[in-house]
Structure 1
């Protein structure tokens, strides 16, 4: 299998039930089958309450499915213990959220390095060089020594994207990454996702409520009432 066609993620019959077996049992996801390959830029859309956040939590190994199996880098994950899931998540997945969660006490560069600091303590020279290179990629190299409070909201989100990429993950998950941004800044962030997707070859799954932005992805998955109702190529 070529690198471009390498399967990053596969969901087979995934379901999620809360309060299983109880009177108030709530099935949030039902029989989800999905595949995501290296280099894909894919959006996930659906109305409020459709199960998007639950699905993203499962894919991010932050929760476990009730049914089916989730394969990440071809490894089955449902029966993994917490330590195994944490190790795989830290190695394979980068996260970008609607709220960037930068740490104001640290510089922009230190925020980008934070996942590596948490993983191994003091970053190496190579780590720092990679972080600076990512800041250059997102157009913020000159702001490396600034505090997050000294830059704009759109710039802070770009820092969060650089932070998500510093571990070189094969999968990037973005949960409403433009939800707090004006339309012009949101366009810039989505343009950045496209460039990152092409340059780094990671698979990117973006949850968005904006159909205009979703259409800019190569593929759009629509979720309604916990089921995939559409999985279409946009180009």
Structure 2
């Protein structure tokens, strides 16, 4: 019998402090324990100042915890050097932000391919086909050569989602990805992330202040004052448009 696959993400006693060793040392995350499985589509919620951005930076391997351990695909990351963290981040994590950060000089297809270009140089035919397929699935096939400033906000965010998925990550981190969109477009973008999370087989952790979006997730993790105060699963998978 083969061993079960490790969780995509596991936090064990994770702590984060700033100004360590100084009189104004402040701990903002207080010993968090959390597991994100491969089929999770979870919302991370909490008031401003609760530590959501700090936690997302740690999960994305953009910062290091003060204490505790963060396991990504079973690998402990606290003792990794910068090169190891960069490798694991690039191979395993996709990012979608409130501001899409597309490169205005490039068309949609090259923007989707950007993570692969940065890692390998000009991608080969298989990678280009994958990027085109993602654009087509986002309803953007005819915009492959269109620059971002000629696309609507919703279209630009769909390009950003395709870019995050082109590396076939195990974990998609989405930080207020619909914050700049109208309600209808936000719902469409949300449903695309849900569908592709399932089809690509990656876990999704969505940071949002929108109660409609969090209620439509399968799981809601509530962070208050640097502590997880609740972690609940929905009895069914509701639609954000329902």
> Pairwise CA RMSD of aligned residues?
1.5
In the alignment, is residue 10 of structure 1 matched against residue 10 of structure 2?
yes
**Secondary structure, counterpart of 2:135 in structure 1:** helix
Match of 1:67 in 2: 67
1:159-215: per-residue Cα shift (whole Å, max 9, x none)?
000000000001100000011111111111111111112211100000000111101
Residues 4 and 39 of structure 1 are in contact (CA less than 8 Å); yes or no, is this contact kept in structure 2? Answer: no
Runs of 4+ aligned structure 1 residues displaced above 3 Å come to 1-6
**Using the alignment, how far apart are the partners of 2:139 and 2:189 within structure 1?**
11
Shift of 1:3: 10
Residue 25 (structure 1) aligns with: 25
Structure 1 residues 2 and 136, CA gap change in structure 2 (3 angstroms): farther
Quote the Cα distance in structure 2 between the aligned partners of 1:179 and 1:57: 18
Q: Which residue number corresponds to residue 192 of structure 1? A: 192
What is the TM-score normalised by the length of structure 2?
0.94
- State the match for 2:103 in structure 1: 103
For residue 239 of structure 2, what is the aligned residue in structure 1? Answer: none
Once residues 49 and 180 of structure 1 are traced to their aligned partners in structure 2, the CA distance between those partners, rounded to angstroms, is 20
**What is the Cα deviation at residue 135 of structure 1?**
0.5
* Change over 3 Å in CA distance of 1:84–1:70 after alignment to 2: same
Aligned twin of 1:43: 43
- 1:21 deviates by 2.1
Tell me the matched-pair count: 235
Which segments of 5 or more consecutive residues in structure 2 lack a partner in the other structure? 236-242
Q: CA deviation at 1:5?
A: 6.7
Q: 1:89 to 1:178 in 2, by over 3 A?
A: same
CA gap 1:149/1:221 in 2 versus in 1, 3 angstroms: same
Alignment of 1:111-122 (within 5 A): 111-122=111-122
Alpha carbons 1:13, 1:69 under 8 Å: kept: yes
- Go from structure 1 to structure 2 and tell me whether the alpha carbon gap of 1:5 and 1:189 turns closer, same or farther (over 3 Å shift): farther
Q: Check the 8 A contact 1:4/1:37 in 2, yes or no.
A: no
Corresponding residue for residue 211 of structure 1:
211
Q: TM-score, normalised by structure 1?
A: 0.97
Give the structure 1 partner of residue 157 of structure 2: 157
Answer yes or no: is the 8 Å Cα contact 2:39–2:201 preserved in 1.
yes
Change (3 A) 1:2 1:128: farther
Post-superposition CA distance 1:108-138 (Å, at most 9, x none): 0000000000001011011100000000111
Task: Give the unaligned 5+ runs of structure 1.
Answer: none
